[in-house]
């Protein structure tokens, strides 16, 4: 997914060169170690392709392995066949009714799901076991679900539940309906700095959390950042100096890996335009530091509306990255220019870390938002949740389960009605 950039104050008519998702370059970037080679498409082509191709990331990104994974809820196939039609709409899996298809992926499709008692919307990724046959695929999806189960942060996508049936695996994921950061950049041409700082701070916080859990993302880009709007805009605007009320979620851990104990990584993967120099050179690299480079490219794309490094010739693209050959638009403030330069540092030892980024003057006074006003599954502590739980208790009672036989709920801890990974 990628467009061409809109006019900037500096260069009217300049187009974004963020690569199009439908191009061969974008397809190849998901194959570890395979160099891409393709031209970007126009914004019109990109928008058309976005509606025709796999919008799975708009809902969520998740993969898993066959039934050998340890944290699954075993169900039988009958749970997924009640009231079905040809497309699977109306099927019931576990406690969820499946709705429209909102995405398609390598191993299956993503459907909108509705919790039968609470009415909670979720994204259900359906993985066909018959498609997960190669050893590399099994390893990749097993690793991804392992990583997803670690995640409990407001700026990282949440996995609620894994349901296993004889033929399929169902990943019950947090549903995010605000679209991608990529689409947001395209729609606004570029993001003005006050709002960009508010959104960027959230990305850094989410990445810091992942790194603290020894997870390297390895495919950080605007397409893998989803946005959730705030239901209580007025209150949120009072808390922030910017008009933005969007919550950012990092998604897609298909290429992620763990760097337990500071282990160095070797595999070159991800999107070429966002790849760190040390990764391109085929050297062993520190995962978190390589993620920092991608973060710098994301920041540049947010505030400029186009990528710092782009070329239709892959070899030329890599040369530009290795030499940090890019032009900084003069309409950017001195502070954001300084931060970009410090992150896009070719020497990994000198490159800014998350701690230094958070201390930079450009982010002074910018705070991560209070998530109480968002429809998200992390850290919810509100009367609304208690009301929903009361509805569940009433439903259970109507089905013949007395209140005194129902398990008590402790509201002293953050609670989400669907957050029960088993």
Annotated binding site: 125
CA dihedral 374, 233, 336, 359 (to 10 degrees): -60
CA dihedral 209, 418, 51, 39 (to 10 degrees): 20
Residue 41: C-alpha distances to residues 3, 22, 412 (Å): 7, 8, 51
Do the beta carbons of residue 325 and residue 319 sit within 8 Å? yes
214: left (phi over 0), alpha (psi -120 to 50) or beta: left
In sequence order, the 6+-apart residues with CB closer than 8 A to the CB of 253 are 61, 62, 63, 144, 147, 148, 215, 217
Instruction: Report the SS3 class of residue 174.
Output: strand
Structure tokens at 209: 């959390």
In sequence order, the 6+-apart residues with CB closer than 8 A to the CB of 71 are 145, 149, 162, 421, 422
Q: Would you call 164 a catalytic residue per the annotation?
A: no
Do the beta carbons of residue 336 and residue 303 sit within 8 Å? yes
Catalytic position from the list 20, 164, 219, 375:
219
Q: What is the DSSP string of 135-150?
A: HHHHHHHHHHHHHHHH
Do the beta carbons of residue 243 and residue 195 sit within 8 Å? yes
- CA distance linking residue 188 with residue 200, whole number of Å: 16
Instruction: Say how many Å lie between the first and final Cα of the chain, rounded.
Output: 34
Do the beta carbons of residue 341 and residue 326 sit within 8 Å? no
Do the beta carbons of residue 43 and residue 186 sit within 8 Å? yes
Structure tokens at 336: 């954001």
DSSP H helices in 213-324: 233-239, 277-280, 287-304, 314-322
Q: What is the DSSP string of 32-96?
A: TTPPP------HHHHHHHHHHS--HHHH------STT-SS-EE--GGGG-TT--TT-TT-EETTE
Active site residues: 219
């Amino acid at each position: 997914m990628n467009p061409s950039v809109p006019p900037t104050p500096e260069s009217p008519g300049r187009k974004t060169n963020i690569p199009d998702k439908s191009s061969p370059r974008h397809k190849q970037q998901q194959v570890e170690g395979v160099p891409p080679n393709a031209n970007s498409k126009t914004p019109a082509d990109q928008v058309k392709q976005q509606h025709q191709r796999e919008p799975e990331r708009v809902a969520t990104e998740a993969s898993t392995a066959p039934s050998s994974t340890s944290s699954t809820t075993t169900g039988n196939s009958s749970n997924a066949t009640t009231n079905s039609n040809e497309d699977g709409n109306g099927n019931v899996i576990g406690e969820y009714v499946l709705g429209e298809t909102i995405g398609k992926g390598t191993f299956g499709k993503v459907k909108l799901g509705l919790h039968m008692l609470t009415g909670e919307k979720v994204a259900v990724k359906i993985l066909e076991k018959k498609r997960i046959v190669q050893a590399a695929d099994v390893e990749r999806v097993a690793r991804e679900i392992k990583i997803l189960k670690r995640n409990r942060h407001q700026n990282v996508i949440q996995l609620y539940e894994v349901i296993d049936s004889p033929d399929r695996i169902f990943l019950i994921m947090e549903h995010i309906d605000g679209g991608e950061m990529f689409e947001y950049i395209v729609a606004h041409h570029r993001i003005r700095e006050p709002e960009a700082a508010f959104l960027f701070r959230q990305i850094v916080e989410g990445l810091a959390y992942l790194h603290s859990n020894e997870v390297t993302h390895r495919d950080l880009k605007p397409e893998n950042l989803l946005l959730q709007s705030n239901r209580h805009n007025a209150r949120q605007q009072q808390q922030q100096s910017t008009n933005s009320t969007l919550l950012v979620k990092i998604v897609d851990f298909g290429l992620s890996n763990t760097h337990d104990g500071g282990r160095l990584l070797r595999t070159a993967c991800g999107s070429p335009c966002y790849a760190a120099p040390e990764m391109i050179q085929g050297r062993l690299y520190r995962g978190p530091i390589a993620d920092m480079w991608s973060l710098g490219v994301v920041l540049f794309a947010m505030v400029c509306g186009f990528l710092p490094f782009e070329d239709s010739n892959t070899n030329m693209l890599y040369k530009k990255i290795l030499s940090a050959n890019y032009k900084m638009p003069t309409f950017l403030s001195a502070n954001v220019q300084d931060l970009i330069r410090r992150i896009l540092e070719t020497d990994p030892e000198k490159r800014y870390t998350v701690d230094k980024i958070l201390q930079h003057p450009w982010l002074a006074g910018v705070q991560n938002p209070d998530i109480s006003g968002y429809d998200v599954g992390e850290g919810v502590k509100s009367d609304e949740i208690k009301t929903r739980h009361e509805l569940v208790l009433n439903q259970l009672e109507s089905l013949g389960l007395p209140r005194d036989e129902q398990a008590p709920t402790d509201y002293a801890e953050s609670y989400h009605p669907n957050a029960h990974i088993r």
